[in-house]
């Protein structure tokens, strides 16, 4: 993701070849295991989505990833491969068909990860209302469409939904205002959904900060630029897709059985307030 948590990849509402039957590693035990569970990750072919898919594979789940195009290389982890299905998350009929196919092949659906989304950089006055409406449609209405299509399957399995939010939805997002507004709405949607769908389906949000993906250079520049941006994060680095994946697996696991309507910040401590550096008082003095 680029500054403010917007994805470094293009919107992931893609088409390609159908998946084969696949699975995760066998033999894991414990409440953190997702052995035998079935997970769908939208926009799961690269970047953050692929990191999430790999984490679920490692946890023992069967994973299906969806995008407009097939992944440039298979999404694999722990000796297992995620299945792929083409999907445009903005097309309700295609979304319904996806979950029908997944449950026919795997017999159930336990986890939905609404990761597909994105936005170009566009100041409000440089775009039309239609441009901004499309961003809201992809990042807010599409996750609602997908969640509604998955609901009955998740309810039967007493499963969970994970929304992939952004710090852009928690503070001003200049240049991506429609995206920030959509992500703010997505977090609120998840909280309402959690109340309406409890106790059968849990719904939580991962609120992401900056993530280093294969397209990070488009937003931060070369290694020097990435390092400079990372220096603004309290933990001193950008998140890796695997960091997001680990948090997603936790929220989907039995260890988070009492968490619903929650927002988990995955941002390395956030951003140091600018006024602290601008102020002329309370500066640390070197000995």
Q: What is the pLDDT of residues 190-247, one digit of tens each?
A: 999 999 999 999 999 999 998 887 766 666 778 888 888 888 899 999 989 999 999 9
Given this model, what pLDDT does residue 185 score? 98
Kindly report the CA angle at 74 between 69 and 78, in degrees rounded to 5? 145
Closest CA to 5 of 175, 160, 137: 175
Q: For the segment 118-176, what is each residue's pLDDT rounded down to a tens digit?
A: 999 999 999 999 999 999 999 999 999 999 999 999 999 999 999 999 999 999 999 99
Given this model, what pLDDT does residue 287 score? 59
Cα torsion through 235, 241, 245, 247, rounded to 10: 20
Given this model, what pLDDT does residue 46 score? 94
Closest CA to 207 of 244, 233, 234, 241: 244
CA distance 200 to 284: 52
Given this model, what pLDDT does residue 16 score? 35
pLDDT band at 286, cuts 50/70/90?
Answer: low
Phi/psi of residue 173, nearest 5 degrees: -130, 65
Is residue 37 within 8 A of residue 61, CB to CB? The reply is yes
Given this model, what pLDDT does residue 170 score? 95
Instruction: State mean pLDDT over 273-284.
Output: 83
For residues 273 and 61, which has the higher predicted lDDT (pLDDT)?
61
For residues 13 and 150, which has the higher predicted lDDT (pLDDT)?
150
pLDDT at residue 20 is higher than 70: no
Q: Distance of CA 118 to CAs 49, 59, 144, 178, 224, Å?
A: 12, 27, 15, 11, 25
Is residue 145 within 8 A of residue 116, CB to CB? The reply is no
Closest CA to 43 of 189, 182, 146: 146
Q: What is the largest CA-CA distance in the chain?
A: 68
Q: Which two tokens stand for residue 122?
A: 């566009």
CA distance 162 to 287: 48
Q: Distance of CA 232 to CAs 3, 86, 137, 264, 284, Å?
A: 11, 38, 31, 20, 17
Look at residue 272 and give its three-state secondary structure. coil
pLDDT at residue 5 is higher than 50: no
pLDDT at residue 10 is higher than 70: no
Given this model, what pLDDT does residue 32 score? 67
Q: For the segment 240-277, what is each residue's pLDDT rounded down to a tens digit?
A: 999 999 999 999 999 999 999 999 999 999 988 888 88
Look up the pTM and report it: 0.87
pLDDT at residue 17 is higher than 70: no
Given this model, what pLDDT does residue 130 score? 97
Residues forming a β-bridge with 166? 208
Given this model, what pLDDT does residue 164 score? 98
Q: Which two tokens stand for residue 11?
A: 């919107």
CA distance 165 to 186: 7
Parallel/antiparallel/unpaired status of strands 76-77 and 80-81: antiparallel
| In the chain, % of residues over pLDDT 90 | 74
């Amino acid at each position: 993701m680029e500054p403010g948590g917007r994805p470094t990849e293009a919107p992931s509402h893609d088409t390609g070849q159908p998946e084969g039957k696949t699975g995760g590693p066998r033999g894991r035990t414990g409440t953190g295991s997702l052995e035998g569970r079935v997970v769908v990750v939208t926009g799961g072919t690269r970047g953050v989505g692929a990191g999430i898919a790999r984490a679920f594979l490692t946890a023992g789940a069967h994973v299906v990833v969806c995008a407009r195009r097939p992944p440039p290389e298979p999404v694999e982890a722990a000796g297992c491969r995620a299945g792929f299905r083409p999907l445009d998350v903005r097309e309700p009929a295609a979304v319904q068909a996806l979950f029908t196919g997944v449950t026919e092949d795997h017999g159930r659906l336990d986890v939905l990860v609404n990761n597909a989304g994105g936005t170009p950089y566009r100041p409000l006055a440089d775009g039309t209302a239609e441009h901004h409406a499309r961003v809201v449609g992809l990042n807010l209405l599409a996750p609602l469409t997908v969640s509604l299509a998955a609901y009955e399957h998740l309810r039967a399995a007493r499963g969970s939904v994970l929304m992939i939010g952004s710090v852009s939805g928690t503070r001003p997002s200049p240049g991506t205002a429609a995206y920030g507004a959509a992500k703010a709405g997505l977090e609120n949607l998840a909280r309402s959904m959690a109340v309406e769908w409890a106790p059968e389906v849990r719904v939580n949000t991962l609120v992401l900060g900056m993530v280093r993906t294969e397209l990070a250079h488009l937003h931060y520049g070369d290694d020097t630029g990435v390092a400079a941006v990372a220096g603004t994060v309290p933990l001193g680095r950008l998140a890796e897709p695997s960091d997001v994946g680990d948090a997603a697996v936790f929220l989907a696991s039995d260890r988070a059985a009492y968490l619903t309507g929650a927002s988990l910040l995955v941002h390395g401590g956030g951003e140091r307030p600018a006024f602290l550096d601008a102020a002329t008082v309370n500066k640390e003095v070197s000995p």
